Amino acid sequence: MLVIVSDLHLGDGTCGKSISTSAFHLFADRLREMAINASIRTGDRYRPIKTIDILMLGDILEVLHSVRWLDTKPGQPGCVRPWTDFHTPGFAATLDRITGDCLENNREAIAILHSLAHGKGLTIPPATPGGRPDFDAPEQPVKVRLHYMTGNHDWYYHLPGPAFDKIRSKIIAAFGLSNPPKRFPYDITEPGAEKLKALLDEYGVFARHGDFYDSFNFPEKPEESQKDRSQKVEYSPEMRDAASLGDVFAVEILNRFSVAAREKFKDKLPKKLIESLSELVNVRPALATPLWISSQLRQNDVSAEDQEAFKDLWDSLCRDFLKQDPVRAADKKFKLDIVNWLKLGIGVIDKFSFQAIDDIVVWIRRKFWADDEIKFFTHALKEKAFQDGHAQFVVYGHTHHHEIVPLDSVPAQQEPTNQMYINSGTWHTYFDLAVNKPEQQKFISYQVLTYLCFFKDGERRGRRFETWSGAFSN
């Protein structure tokens, strides 16, 4: 049995809360239930499975959303940002510190996965001579192997070199991973990922995080600048060893806003308000972020004068963001690119109050907002593994939007081969905008988790896959 999860975003606690440990207890319980069900083979005969492989498909540790990147200022000794050359002294040390904080902040949750990987957390009944579960006999362990692939928030673990091997070794020890300490794979076609690719091939699965098709969150190489990534740019491992514009936006606006607000307003505004700003990264939909800021200001009775000061701070950070070297470098002359759209958006926001922006957002939601989620299934149609029929399932993460999309059905003598795109969703805490009277800026907090299961050799009575997605209150 193969299980795929992604986008756990286990952070250091400085920029929003990770999903609760109870989600991991729930997953462990469901994993045992799935293992028993998977042991029932075609023909209803029970034969216990021996191994479960769990693929963690990127954005597992939340390295990007940490205020630790802002501990030093440009020009100071040891100052690094995600877009600093990773060979720079201090880069690995900063990553090591953030990684250690992420592991410690989520120690109990990670310990549950570690227990599963070391044969202590998952046992199932043996079989009777008649091929039924023997619930009266001592249970037998199921070997669980954990595999880590990287995404756009934890791409740092794909970096080569001894300093990064040491950091990966800590992650391997904490989770109980099956990965070697060399660079964690980003793509299953790259050198070093051969065993993982062979494993996925057994289940007819092709998997990648998905940010490769997101120009804001994947670094663009100069030679690619004239190409549309949806037209299939070939991947090479060094592509994912650099920061993207999304990294700059995350650090210089989303991460920095809570830090700057705390410095400017710590003696003037309620502590609860300042602390709530760290949850900006968990607001959904993302377009509702100004509404969420306004709701926090309103709930804390912030004066009009201080609201204006808040807005000035936000505008200042946005303008500074446009001055960052990676942003300026991505702004191509005589071409309408993503930086131009960012400039346009920031320019519009700069001229309006939070309240006016709120009114615009509410209007957009009512008129045009049928579905704000990014759908990546069109990219699955361009994957070589889909086109040559090698993959029955194309799996992405990244969007946080769990979906199942039928791609094709290939006729065969016994039964057709169905090809499908599946998104692995997320494990996350969300602050979601209520649809009733959104102008009242009401948000509801809840947690979501999704996991995908794939079967072979007649497991699960011959079923090929199943997916589970749920939500629960905080």
Contact (Cβ atoms closer than 8 angstroms) between residue 425 and residue 450:
yes
Distance CA 338, CA 331 (A): 8
For residue 342, what pLDDT is reported? 65
Structure tokens of 105?
């902040």
pLDDT at 359 over 70: no
For residue 230, what pLDDT is reported? 47
Q: Which of 52-56, 329-333, 365-369, 445-449 has the lowest mean pLDDT?
A: 365-369
pLDDT at 30 over 50: yes
Residue 422 falls inside a structural domain: yes
Cα atoms in the Cβ-side hemisphere of radius 13 Å centred on 125: 15
Distance CA 472, CA 474 (A): 7
Q: What is the mean pLDDT of residues 195-224?
A: 88
For residue 234, what pLDDT is reported? 77
DSSP secondary structure code for residue 251 in this structure: I
Q: Which of 42-56, 114-128, 327-341, 432-446 has the lowest mean pLDDT?
A: 327-341
Distance CA 144, CA 151 (A): 22
Distance CA 137, CA 125 (A): 7
Q: How confident is the model at residue 302 (pLDDT cuts 50, 70, 90)?
A: confident
Q: How confident is the model at residue 314 (pLDDT cuts 50, 70, 90)?
A: confident
Whole-prediction pTM:
0.90
- The type of residue at 465 is F
| Residue in the structure block whose two tokens are 């989770």 | 175
Cis peptide before 180 (omega within 30 of 0): no
Q: How confident is the model at residue 416 (pLDDT cuts 50, 70, 90)?
A: low
| Residue in the structure block whose two tokens are 């602390």 | 275
pLDDT at 85 over 50: yes
Task: Decide: residue 40, CB within 10 A, 0-12 exposed, 13-18 middle, 19+ buried.
Answer: buried
Contact (Cβ atoms closer than 8 angstroms) between residue 27 and residue 218:
no
Residue 133 falls inside a structural domain: yes
Residue 328 falls inside a structural domain: no
Looking at mean pLDDT, say which of 149-163, 236-250, 251-265 comes out highest.
149-163
Distance CA 35, CA 46 (A): 11
Contact (Cβ atoms closer than 8 angstroms) between residue 421 and residue 232:
no
Distance CA 336, CA 288 (A): 26
Residue 460 falls inside a structural domain: yes
For residue 415, what pLDDT is reported? 67
Residue 226 falls inside a structural domain: no
Q: What is the mean pLDDT of the chain?
A: 86
Contact (Cβ atoms closer than 8 angstroms) between residue 346 and residue 318:
yes
Distance CA 375, CA 172 (A): 32
Q: What is the mean pLDDT of residues 117-141?
A: 93
Distance CA 433, CA 444 (A): 7
DSSP secondary structure code for residue 221 in this structure: P
Residue 208 falls inside a structural domain: yes
| Reduced DSSP (H G I as helix, E B as strand, rest coil) percent helix, strand, coil of the chain, to 5 | 45, 15, 40
Q: Which of 5-9, 104-108, 227-231, 238-242 has the lowest mean pLDDT?
A: 227-231
Residue 156 falls inside a structural domain: yes
H or E, element range at 260:
helix 256-265
Q: What is the mean pLDDT of residues 390-403?
A: 94
DSSP secondary structure code for residue 216 in this structure: T
For residue 331, what pLDDT is reported? 72
179-193 pLDDT, tens digit each: 999 999 999 999 999
Range of the domain at 159: 2-214+372-473
pLDDT at 367 over 50: no
Reference 244, options 136, 172, 324; nearest CA is 324
Structure tokens of 37?
């069900």
Q: Which of 229-233, 322-326, 414-418, 434-438 has the lowest mean pLDDT?
A: 229-233
Q: How confident is the model at residue 296 (pLDDT cuts 50, 70, 90)?
A: confident
Kindly report the backbone phi and psi dihedral angles of residue 471, in degrees, each rounded to the nearest multiple of 5, phi listed first.
-140, 150
Looking at mean pLDDT, say which of 259-273, 320-334, 341-355 comes out highest.
259-273
Q: How confident is the model at residue 205 (pLDDT cuts 50, 70, 90)?
A: very high
Q: What is the mean pLDDT of residues 8-19?
A: 94
SS3 414: coil
Higher pLDDT residue, 203 or 284?
Answer: 203
Contact (Cβ atoms closer than 8 angstroms) between residue 63 and residue 170:
no
For residue 339, what pLDDT is reported? 63
Reference 24, options 45, 41, 3, 8; nearest CA is 8
pLDDT at 354 over 60: no
> What are the DSSP calls for 416-440, one per residue?
-EEEEEEE----EEEEEEPSSSGGG
Share of residues in the chain with pLDDT > 90 (%): 58
Reference 220, options 319, 324, 331, 323; nearest CA is 331
Q: What is the mean pLDDT of residues 109-123?
A: 92
Distance CA 187, CA 238 (A): 11
* Pairing, β 283-284 against β 428-433: parallel
Residue 367 falls inside a structural domain: no
Q: How confident is the model at residue 301 (pLDDT cuts 50, 70, 90)?
A: confident
For residue 277, what pLDDT is reported? 83
305: left (phi over 0), alpha (psi -120 to 50) or beta: alpha
* Number of domains composing the chain: 1
pLDDT at 283 over 90: no
For residue 369, what pLDDT is reported? 42
Long-range contacts of 177-184 (CB under 8 A, 24+ apart): 177/117, 177/146, 177/147, 177/148, 178/117, 178/145, 178/146, 178/147, 179/147, 179/148, 183/157, 183/158, 183/159, 183/237, 184/148, 184/149, 184/150, 184/157, 184/158
